[in-house]
Amino acid sequence: MKVALIGGTGYVGSYITDELIKNGHTPRLLVRNGSEHKVMQPEKCEIVAGDIDDEVAIKNALEECDAVIYLIALIREFPKKGLTNERLQFRGSERVAAIAEQKGIKRFLLMSALGANPDPTGSKYMQAKHLSEQAIKNTTLDWTIIRPSSLFGDPREGDRPEFCMMLDKLMLSLFPYPKFLPFPAPSFFTGLNPFDAGNYALSMIHVKDVASLFIKILTDQDTINQTIEIGGSREVTWNEIVSSIAKATGRRVIMTPAPFPIVASVAGLLDRFSWFPAGKDQLNDLVKGSVCDSSELLKKYDVDPIPFNIENLKYISG
């Protein structure tokens, strides 16, 4: 099977490329100029130069393909740079799906996100994911929508996973203390009780498991026109995530309760600056949590999930 990967040089895409090759498929990647070095196993891939705004390049990328996997996502917007969820997530997936229909390609996998919804008071990220889902559903494609929870795993040449990008700045940029000193890390609470800080949970799942599930779902006819939520084997609280990453990097951490409304207000004022550690939307999604029960799915596809623990976070210290 020849599979067009849109977003194949990113974090998840690099692992899906490997998994496609491992299972005897041929990945065809739409690659922006300057991102060629991110392609995993380029000698086993077909590469088409172009970006998500270039319809000719998209048509070339989809030529003679049997399936399409759309992976482009934008955790944080920078509108002045043209980096918006509407352009890259919603309109991009809508455009690729329409071209897939024109070319008679039936199979289409969309990477959405656990928690995607149309709530106008929610994050633009989740709104865009929801709009992408609706765009795909309103086609004649044999679509499957996959909603992962938060990911972890070595980013290699791709982009860093969202929680790592946030922690890089929160923990290492804002608090560049010597390793022998403990440093404060924010543990947000949304109500009045600081003892509830950091108890929101995520179903952390390793990127290798996500890639494996994508390829198994791709060839499973029973998943057509289904929305599938995927997460790891257990729920992990924010406090445990921060503490585990601190230990993996050889640091000591003090979880410091932080009133979320105040932090969110500051983020709303400063998130247009790339040096600020997290955008308001990111923080809002974080404190809502992101959990699901994927036990039956993991059992069906015989996937023994890689656990979220210090041993499997050692890549961070490198």
Burial 62-86, CB ≥16 within 10 A → b, else e: beebebbbbbbbbbbbeeeeeebbe
Would you state the structure tokens that stand for residue 234, as one six-digit string? 């257990």
**Residue ranges making up the domain that contains 268:** 162-201+234-290+306-317
For residue 298, is it within any domain?
Answer: no
Same domain for 88 and 187?
A: no
Contact at 8 Å (CB) between 219 and 25?
A: no
Mean pLDDT across 199-222: 96
Please tell me the total count of domains within the chain: 2
pLDDT tens-digit map of 135-144: 999 999 999 9
Please determine, for residue 209, whether its predicted confidence score (pLDDT) is greater than 80.
yes
For residue 301, is it within any domain?
Answer: no
What is the CB neighbour count within 10 angstroms for residue 48?
18
Q: Give the span between the Cα atoms of 5 and 245, in whole angstroms.
A: 31
The predicted pLDDT at position 57 comes to 96
For residue 253, is it within any domain?
Answer: yes
pLDDT tens-digit map of 111-129: 999 999 998 888 889 999 9
Same domain for 111 and 176?
A: no
Same domain for 129 and 247?
A: no
pLDDT tens-digit map of 68-120: 999 998 877 888 888 898 999 999 999 999 999 999 999 999 999 999 999 88
Angle at the Cα of 257 from the Cα atoms of 255 and 263, rounded to 5 degrees: 115
pTM of the predicted model as reported, rounded to 2 decimal places: 0.91
pLDDT tens-digit map of 25-66: 999 999 998 888 889 899 999 999 999 999 999 999 999 999
Would you state the structure tokens that stand for residue 233, as one six-digit string? 């084997």
Same domain for 25 and 172?
A: no
C-alpha Rg value of the chain to the nearest Å: 19
Same domain for 82 and 213?
A: yes
Residues shown for the chain: 318
Residue predicted with more confidence, 195 or 45:
45
Phi, psi of 195 (to 5 degrees): -75, -10
pLDDT tens-digit map of 290-313: 999 999 999 999 999 999 999 998
Same domain for 77 and 191?
A: no
Same domain for 197 and 212?
A: no
CATH of the domain at 38: 3.40.50.720
